[in-house]
Amino acid sequence: MKKILIAEDNAVNRELLRELLEMHGHTVMEAINGEEALRIVEESKPDILLLDMGMPVLDGYGTIRKIRENARFAALPVLAVTAYAMQGDKERILSCGFDGYLSKPINPTLLFQELERLLSRAERGTGPEDRAQAATEGK
């Protein structure tokens, strides 16, 4: 089972995600903004990060930029979780270095499909190339 970090400012959304992930046996850590998420990434080395886009202090865009700038975390799988549902937003999000995209409200089937895809890819040791590919394919 995996160590999953949820960065999300809304307590209800955090709780919902936590319950879903713990039901599947994952260990869950929580951050309420991007700055806290960066600290936990550094200290606790999660296997995957679920990153809300709209957060105070440091939002999803600022957080992914800092993560991808750091060579040690360049391969960390990061899934955007957001209410921004416009087509242009999805493309913008994927072009920023996210590995995937989930819109709110979270569909549990899609959530676990994406986790499976990203975690199996991480185990094969691939990353940035797949990320560029997924962005091109609009996944």
Among 28, 40, 41, 52, binds Mn ion (CB under 5 A): 52
Sheet with 100-103: list strands edge to edge: 27-31, 3-7, 48-52, 78-82, 100-103
Nearer to Mn ion, 36 or 52 (CB): 52
Q: Amino acid letter at 64?
A: I
CB of 84 to Mn ion, least distance (A): 10
CB of 65 to Mn ion, least distance (A): 17
Q: Which stretch binds Mn ion (CB under 5 A): 17-25, 44-52, 106-114, 122-130?
A: 44-52
Q: Where are the alpha helices (DSSP H) in 24-127?
A: 34-44, 60-69, 87-95, 108-124
Nearer to Mn ion, 29 or 81 (CB): 81
Using rule CB under 5 A, residue 138 touches Mn ion: no
Residue with tokens 């809304």: 10
Using rule CB under 5 A, residue 54 touches Mn ion: yes
Nearer to Mn ion, 14 or 134 (CB): 14
d(CA 132, CA 138): 10
Q: What is the CA radius of gyration of the chain?
A: 13
Using rule CB under 5 A, residue 9 touches Mn ion: yes
Q: Which residues bind Mn ion (CB under 5 A)?
A: 9, 52, 54
